[in-house]
Amino acid sequence: MMHNSIPGVIAAALLLTSPVSAQTVTFADAAPGAMPKDFEPALTGSGRMGRWEVVEDATAEAGRALAQLSADDTDYRFPLAIYMPTVPSEVEITTRFKPVSGKLDQAGGIAVRLIDRNNYYLARANALENNVHFYRVMGGDRQELAGADTKVTSGQWHTLTLRAEGSRFSVSFDGKPLFTHADTTFSSPGKVALWTKADSVTRFDRLEIKPLK
């Protein structure tokens, strides 16, 4: 698990690691019932740590998906599955996810420029609210920066894309551009992560990473 650290120190350490090239991460070869290689669980907020496991899913593109299975209904609870290789700051991230259940939330999201579990940018979609929002998480405080209403269907696969170019962030849902927002808080290379909220049980079957430079 990643712990709170001084952001500047972590950012400097990230710069010393080798960034990833364009790739698509799937879970076809990951063992069911365990966390896949190169991912680590973390938690923003309070409540129980997320329970991330690879599960069999005939509707997933590769027949398996990474699922967050804990239904802890703590409201300010944001389980993360952090992909540990360093990713450039200029990057486009896409995930394919399926909201499965949740009484408070049915959400799935992706984080970029992640310094630690409390500092990152986030795009997330919620099937109970039928919207997609963009946040800055700073010192564990989630701050909404932009959003749009759009239909998010529970029990169906969707794609969510977050493109980071300098201070410009663009969010698309199911291939449709929704909005763009500018922010300069985090600019260094960092991690990317899969994200859920509260009692959301959500499955993810791929993570596409496309460096822009």
Q: What is the pLDDT of residues 75-129, one digit of tens each?
A: 999 999 999 999 999 999 999 999 999 999 999 999 999 999 999 999 999 999 9
> pLDDT-derived band of residue 4, with 50, 70 and 90 as boundaries?
very low
Closest CA to 151 of 106, 115, 113, 184: 106
Q: Which amino acid is at 85?
A: P
- Region 173-188: mean pLDDT is 98
Q: What is the pLDDT of residues 17-27, one digit of tens each?
A: 445 679 999 99
Q: What is the pLDDT of residues 127-179, one digit of tens each?
A: 999 999 999 999 999 999 999 999 999 999 999 999 999 999 999 999 999 99
Domains of the chain: 7-211 (2.60.120.560)
- The whole-angstrom separation of Cα 197 and Cα 80 is 9
pLDDT of residue 21: 78
44 pLDDT higher than 60 = yes
Tokens of residue 145, six digits = 């920066």
6 pLDDT higher than 50 = no
pLDDT of residue 213: 84
pLDDT of residue 48: 96
pLDDT of residue 159: 98
> pLDDT-derived band of residue 12, with 50, 70 and 90 as boundaries?
very low
- The whole-angstrom separation of Cα 150 and Cα 94 is 17
